[in-house]
Structure 1
Amino acid sequence: MFIGIDVHKRYSQIAVLDKNGEIVEEVRVENANLDDFAQRYAGSKAALEATSNYYHIHDTLSEYLDVTVANPGELKLISDSDKKTDRVDAKQLARMVRLGSVPESYVPTDEVRQARALVRGRQKLVENRTEYANKIHGLLSDHGITREVKPLSVEGREFLAELSLPAPWDALLESYLELIQVLTEQIESLEAEIEERAGSLKETQLLMTIPGVSYFTALTIYAELGEINRFDRAKEVVSYVGLNPIIRESGDSRFEGSISKRGSGRVRWLLVQASYTAVHTCEDEYLSRFYNRLARKKNSKTAIVATARKLLVSMYHMLDREEVYDPPGVSA
């Protein structure tokens, strides 16, 4: 049988086709009961779309079914459908399974999932803390306080703790400061776990031999790329991260525009920051030589993005060959 599964938060809409493409069953199943359904069709091929909660569902179904996770960005048959419903989506997926045309998405290993949970969890906490810091800036501005204060610094919080505001803004300020303190403690606790995790993995240990690459950057790169052997060449990794230039061709003309910016913006930002550190702080000979040559021809922004791309290519080869950072023409 060929099974298409349209996954939602609490339930899944399922379509089952036979080898002739005829509908055998259409049913809505609570996600908690998917294992019972999978047992009935054990050995069949199935596909589900990569959604926010697909890990658990994939693992549950994989005990009985040959499951492919579909890349949502490439599901043209579904996204371009004039009539888009749960039943239509499930049937389209089932038809794609039968035709062997499901655009497959990467399913991370448990180790990669754990790394992703750590770095993404820290990122969310940092974003929440920044939100409360911005609320404090708003309070100060509303009361005509123009002094530059950094609520995330110890000195800034000490100044704010002594600040006298009228009610109810005094209570709000106190609440925001308490939340920032709690979030800071949680972030520090996660950072300790991230550092320990980065130190235990061979992939992140290799990445940390690069000047300017911290344990957090290394674990984030590892978590977002996943198993390096799923990429056949460096160009695929560059495209996956979105550092590849958009190329337009017309007749005999060929123009390279800005980068595609597909994939994780966080990874691109970290690669750029690591490149800045390598060039301007660590004075890494390999990357500095490349950056300076390009900066003279173009501009610093273009040069640092290109340097980040070169750094990513180096990371790919290091992970692929299981080698420490030792660029050509430079004594590591």
Structure 2
Amino acid sequence: MTAESQTIKTYVGLDVSLSDTHICVLDQSGKRLFRGVVPSDPIVITETILAHATCCERVAVETGATTPWLWRELRRRGVPAICVDARHASKAQSMRRNKTDRNDAEGLAELMRIGWFKEANVRTPEAQYIKSMLSARYQLRLNRRDILNQMRGIVKTFGLFTGSTATRKFPEIVRKVVDEHPEVAPMLAPLLAVHDSMIEQIKYYEDQLKIIAKNDENARRIMTVPGVSYLVALGFMSAIDDPSRFSSSSKVGPYLGLAPRVRQSGETSWSAGIGHAPDPMVRSYLYQAATILLTKTATWSKLKACGFRIYKRAGFTRAAIAVARKLAIVMHSIWIDGTEFVHGKAKAA
């Protein structure tokens, strides 16, 4: 290997799957220096990069389920890995005629070479732990709702209508139906058992999350915002992870998918509604917090007053979305400044 070849900058693209990883290495002029397939093992990937990509500038890894672990392992071994937003990379590579793992790896390397990529944040292990626990609870609640709807469908089929599943008394109503109509017990008893087990596991997750929020000073300060519970605070913190990566608190709203999109062509311009949410669960939490602030919170605040002004002008849904965006901004500011929420006093009419 000559001294000149050792100074040529190289760029690497990794298309990762559970078993194999396709690797492509390009030089600064776009010439392909290496293409191959290795096991999805950080040690093997690192050895391959060191062997074929001298003076490596950037290594692309798309966002995915295994990305946080792989990114951290590569970084720990000195590989300049960059986590690339998968949606952005997909749009950039959509012009390729054939979509294969080999072509995807080469496309990622090309994005690294020309510098046209959007870097995604990789959560810390602590934030990933909280995020995983919140996601597990969220999924259990969705499954519980499906179980309730299934039980309601069964009793309706046999003419035993029990009303909405939204009421907390619905499982007790179903138990009463089972006692009064033993013929439906073989269908409803297993579903009731699964429902009760889910309730226990959901409570376990909630107890663990309450302990985490209680021991976290930042979470306690964020929870001083009206309408913000421990779930909203922890979900928001796990989604943001590092508050300093936002130069302004006003950028948090668009990042969470709470800002309206603008479509403009010629002399026509219109709003296309809120955009894509990188974390739909957190966005739904913020929307619920805004709803509680507008409908349940009795104490006056500028947030509530602003929400009611929008409500009178544009309706409740848009008002709740606007308040959710403002909640995210306020929570980020509190996190950065180390302060707490101040309600203030309403001005005299």
TM-score scaled to structure 1, two decimals? 0.89
**Cα distance in structure 1, aligned partners of 2:299 and 2:276:** 26
**Cα distance in structure 2, aligned partners of 1:62 and 1:163:** 63
1:62 corresponds to = 75
Task: Give how far 1:192 is off.
Answer: 0.4
Q: Which AA in structure 1 matches 2:249?
A: A
Q: Which AA in structure 2 matches 1:21?
A: G
Q: Which AA in structure 2 matches 1:294?
A: I
For residues 195-214 of structure 1, what are the structure 2 equivalents within 5 Å?
A: 195-214=210-229
Q: Is 2:303 the partner of 1:287?
A: yes
Could you say what the CA RMSD is over the residues aligned between the two structures, in angstroms?
2.5
CA contact (8 A) 1:3 1:15 kept: yes
More off after superposition, 315-324 vs 34-43: 34-43
1:303 corresponds to = 319
Q: Is 2:31 the partner of 1:15?
A: no
CA contact (8 A) 1:278 1:284 kept: no
**Cα distance in structure 2, aligned partners of 1:284 and 1:53:** 45
CA distance 1:309–1:246, change in 2 (3 Å): same
Q: Which AA in structure 2 matches 1:49?
A: E
Task: Give how far 1:321 is off.
Answer: 1.6
Q: Is 2:181 the partner of 1:181?
A: no
CA contact (8 A) 2:85 2:119 kept: yes
Task: Give how far 1:140 is off.
Answer: 0.8
CA distance 1:247–1:100, change in 2 (3 Å): closer
CA contact (8 A) 1:112 1:223 kept: yes
**Deviation readout 1:106-157 (Å, 9 max, x if unpaired):** 1111111111111111101111111111111111111111122649646335
For residues 64-213 of structure 1, what are the structure 2 equivalents within 5 Å?
A: 64=77, 65-75=79-89, 76-148=91-163, 150=165, 153=169, 155-156=172-173, 158-166=175-183, 170-213=185-228
Task: Give how far 1:41 is off.
Answer: 2.8
Task: Give how far 1:99 is off.
Answer: 2.8
CA distance 1:302–1:37, change in 2 (3 Å): closer
**Deviation readout 1:274-293 (Å, 9 max, x if unpaired):** 12222332224222211222
Task: For structure 1, list consecutive stretches of 5 or more residues without a partner in the other structure.
Answer: none
2:39 corresponds to = 30
- Determine helix, strand or coil for the equivalent of 1:232: coil
**Cα distance in structure 2, aligned partners of 1:189 and 1:157:** 24
Task: Give how far 1:203 is off.
Answer: 2.5
The number of residues matched between the two structures is: 328
Task: Give how far 1:100 is off.
Answer: 2.9
Q: Which AA in structure 1 matches 2:86?
A: P
More off after superposition, 319-328 vs 237-246: 319-328
For 1:321, which of 322, 329, 337 is the aligned residue? 337
**Deviation readout 1:251-299 (Å, 9 max, x if unpaired):** 6665445322533332232222212222332224222211222223332
CA distance 1:14–1:205, change in 2 (3 Å): same
Task: Give how far 1:63 is off.
Answer: 2.4
CA distance 1:136–1:100, change in 2 (3 Å): same
- Determine helix, strand or coil for the equivalent of 2:123: coil
**Cα distance in structure 1, aligned partners of 2:181 and 2:286:** 42
CA distance 1:294–1:28, change in 2 (3 Å): same
Q: Which AA in structure 1 matches 2:38?
A: V
**Cα distance in structure 1, aligned partners of 2:25 and 2:217:** 43
- Determine helix, strand or coil for the equivalent of 2:96: coil
CA contact (8 A) 2:213 2:220 kept: yes
**Cα distance in structure 2, aligned partners of 1:204 and 1:138:** 41
- Determine helix, strand or coil for the equivalent of 2:37: strand
More off after superposition, 74-83 vs 174-183: 74-83
2:6 corresponds to = none
CA distance 1:192–1:69, change in 2 (3 Å): same
Task: Give how far 1:326 is off.
Answer: 2.1
**Cα distance in structure 2, aligned partners of 1:100 and 1:293:** 44
1:228 corresponds to = 243
- Determine helix, strand or coil for the equivalent of 1:262: coil
CA contact (8 A) 2:178 2:185 kept: no
CA distance 1:117–1:149, change in 2 (3 Å): same
CA distance 1:284–1:256, change in 2 (3 Å): farther
1:2 corresponds to = 11
